[in-house]
Amino acid sequence: MLTGVRVRGLTVAGVPSGAPIVDSVDLDVRPGEILGLVGESGSGKTTLGLALLAYYKRGTQLAGGSVAINGVDLAGAAVRRMRGDAVAYIPQSPASALNPALRIRTQLGECGGDDARVREVLREVALPDTDVFLRRYPHQLSGGQQQRVAIAMAFLGRPDLIVLDEPTTGLDVTTQKHVLETVRKMCATYSCAAVYITHDMAVVAELTDRIAVMYSGRVVETGPARTVLRSPQHPYTARLLMAVPDLDGRREIRGIPGHAPSPVRRPAGCAFAPRCPLVVDRCRDEVPALEDGVRCFRAGVSRFEVVERVEVPVVSADAALEVRGLSAWYGSHQVLEDISLSVPRGQCVALLGESGSGKTTLARAIAGLHPRHGGEVVLGGESLPPSGLRRTPLQRRRIQYVFQNPYESLNPRKTVRELVLAPARVLLGKVPDGLVEDALSQAALSPELASRYPDQLSGGERQRVAIARALAAQPEVLVCDEVTSALDVSVQAAIVELIAGLRERKGLTLLFVTHDIALVRTVAQHVAVLEHGRIVERGPVAEVLAAPEHPYTQALMADTPRFDTSRFSQ
């Protein structure tokens, strides 16, 4: 009897266009094996992952191929009986996947199993199995605890296949490490085949046994994780790896120029041809077959290239922004205590720490979005009122905020032009001619996008629009709150390059909130590490990350997945 997961010719098409979103995919995943499914946003990873569960989003349908679990075809009426037992799913956002109105005991009970089984699986995911914990609601748990509950729900039925859709996106490195260890242990314990969808190549390097790289709905490279990461054969894979941030700061990150085509505009030949530096005429005319684990006529020609990073000396400068003795509260709960911070003019300071450390609260207090704070925020020698409502238009204009999630921060009913103009009309009074086009250009966007709505843009384009909106107000200080956390590595690299370029060209002062230590190396000159609402370590990035002195900073460094470029064949 065949064991594990066998996928042959799986094709998922859009309705009514009929364009394949997932195109003729073949995969095998053995029991206990973790397959990493990687690629840029829009490559078809999530659509493929859901298709492995015989689930198709609205506007899509199965157009061909088959999925078999332990020899049983996952089709027809059988799939209803198999979901939860043979196949299970862990979503990206546990906060939205868990019912906020139901206690944890009720939600776990709905997934099957008696009380003893529920308590057993809670212990396996390192959560309390007490009545007190089981009586809690999802909002009473941390993000990491919510994700572990989602893992427990998936493993209750002892599934043969589990699909994990970016389950650590948005988690800090310490919580991420614990979640990944839980996933690895549970897959081994239950001999469960797992498909791990992610854009985090450092996580893939540490967690997975095999890798499948997707581009425009097709698997372009597959093989053992060690082999693919050490010697990528497809130029797209090599470029993806070059976009991964370097924790040690020895190399520059490089994005991939251009955008992946939509399914309805896929070129006749190789879909990567318009972006490929190795393209020849044959690539434009023929679709390469997947041979020896790679779909490319020029397989093996492209290599991972290390672009040495030149450390720019930190130049002393006057403080553009100062925080003096700032403490902040949510109700009666104090979340920041006696924070003092100086942000030099024209430079970038990164706020680093776990979820709940107070990073975003500090950033929001500086921008006037969290008025319940004491202490002082001083901009250019001028003390600012705590509330943005009490600040003058000039004071509000000088500090602009770019939020974490561009899907939520942009009004879906307004065009790009209207979104960019909105703050400028309020803060500048008279809007200069060409403001929108200039702001879009600074954010590396085409002026042609001005008439589009947010749902007509990719995730990276939406984040650039959010940056353009902030730039339209002509700020002196730009606060970036986890602006790359939900983006794939290629788009992330492009956004980081954009932000760094703005600082260098326009002399912008940046406050960069993040839990990604590797990114700090690339974008910031100074770093302040927060733990439980206090700054426990600060200084130049090169010094702090090379030799952290505080145990908390040392723990963050130890928990961060490393993408070691020294193992690549040259």
Is the four-CA dihedral 35, 36, 39, 45 of positive or negative sign? positive
What whole-number distance in Å separates Cα of residue 199 and Cα of residue 488?
5
pLDDT range class, residue 84, cuts 50, 70, 90: low
Amino acid 570: pLDDT: 43
Could you count the other beta carbons within 10 Å of the beta carbon of residue 13?
A: 21
What whole-number distance in Å separates Cα of residue 434 and Cα of residue 454?
21
Answer whether residue 235 is part of any domain. Answer: no
Summarised one tens digit per residue, pLDDT across range 406-454 is: 878 899 999 999 999 999 999 987 888 899 999 998 888 888 899 999 9
| Number of domains present in the structure of the chain | 1
Burial category of 84 from C-beta neighbours within 10 Å (exposed 0-12, middle 13-18, buried 19 and up) = middle
Distances (CA, A) of 475 to 190, 381, 463, 511: 54, 16, 17, 13
Summarised one tens digit per residue, pLDDT across range 164-190 is: 988 887 677 887 888 888 889 989 998
The alpha carbon of 361 is separated from its chain's Cα centroid by a whole number of angstroms, namely 21
Axis-axis angle for helices 435-442, 416-428 (nearest 10): 110
Q: The domain that contains 400 carries what CATH number?
A: 3.40.50.300
Beta-ladder partners of 64: 11
Answer whether residue 473 is part of any domain. Answer: yes
Which structural domain, as residue segments, surrounds residue 385?
319-560
232: tokens are: 């990528």
Amino acid 406: pLDDT: 81
Axis-axis angle for helices 173-190, 551-559 (nearest 10): 40
128: tokens are: 């309390």
Summarised one tens digit per residue, pLDDT across range 266-298 is: 999 999 999 998 999 999 999 999 999 999 999
Least confident of 58-62, 72-76, 98-102, 194-198: 72-76
Q: What does R_g of the chain's alpha carbons equal in angstroms?
A: 24
Answer whether residue 497 is part of any domain. Answer: yes
Q: Mean pLDDT over all residues of the chain?
A: 88
Residue 98 predicted with pLDDT over 70:
yes
Answer whether residue 195 is part of any domain. Answer: no
Answer whether residue 33 is part of any domain. Answer: no
Angle at 308 between CA 307 and CA 309, to 5 degrees: 115
Task: State the average pLDDT over residues 539-553.
Answer: 93
Amino acid 76: pLDDT: 63
Give me the residue label for tokens 């949510």.
Answer: 330
Helix (H) or strand (E) holding 524: none
**Helix (H, G, I), strand (E, B), or coil: what is residue 348?**
strand
**Helix (H, G, I), strand (E, B), or coil: what is residue 37?**
strand
pLDDT range class, residue 3, cuts 50, 70, 90: confident
Amino acid 141: pLDDT: 86
pLDDT range class, residue 79, cuts 50, 70, 90: low
Amino acid 569: pLDDT: 45
Answer whether residue 487 is part of any domain. Answer: yes
**Helix (H, G, I), strand (E, B), or coil: what is residue 347?**
coil
What whole-number distance in Å separates Cα of residue 345 and Cα of residue 347?
6
CB-CB contact of 88 with 159 (8 Å)? yes
Task: State the average pLDDT over residues 526-531.
Answer: 96
Percentage, residues of the chain above pLDDT 70:
94
What whole-number distance in Å separates Cα of residue 286 and Cα of residue 271?
10
Answer whether residue 1 is part of any domain. Answer: no
Summarised one tens digit per residue, pLDDT across range 29-56 is: 999 999 999 998 888 998 999 999 888 8
Amino acid 310: pLDDT: 67
Distances (CA, A) of 422 to 196, 360, 366: 40, 24, 21
Residues contacting 262, CB < 8 A, separation 6+: 42
CB-CB contact of 317 with 275 (8 Å)? no
Concatenate the DSSP letters of all residues of 420-456 into one string. Answer: HHHHHHHHHSSPPTTHHHHHHHHTT--GGGGG--GGG
Task: State the average pLDDT over residues 130-139.
Answer: 94
Amino acid 320: pLDDT: 94
Please give the single-letter amino acid code of residue 506: K
The alpha carbon of 330 is separated from its chain's Cα centroid by a whole number of angstroms, namely 27
Distances (CA, A) of 553 to 274, 354, 528: 43, 10, 10
Query: 267-291: b or e for each residue (b if 16 or more CB lie within 10 Å)?
Result: eebbbbbbbbeebeeebeeeebebe
Residue 567 predicted with pLDDT over 60:
no
Answer whether residue 328 is part of any domain. Answer: yes
Distances (CA, A) of 407 to 423, 474, 490: 18, 23, 18
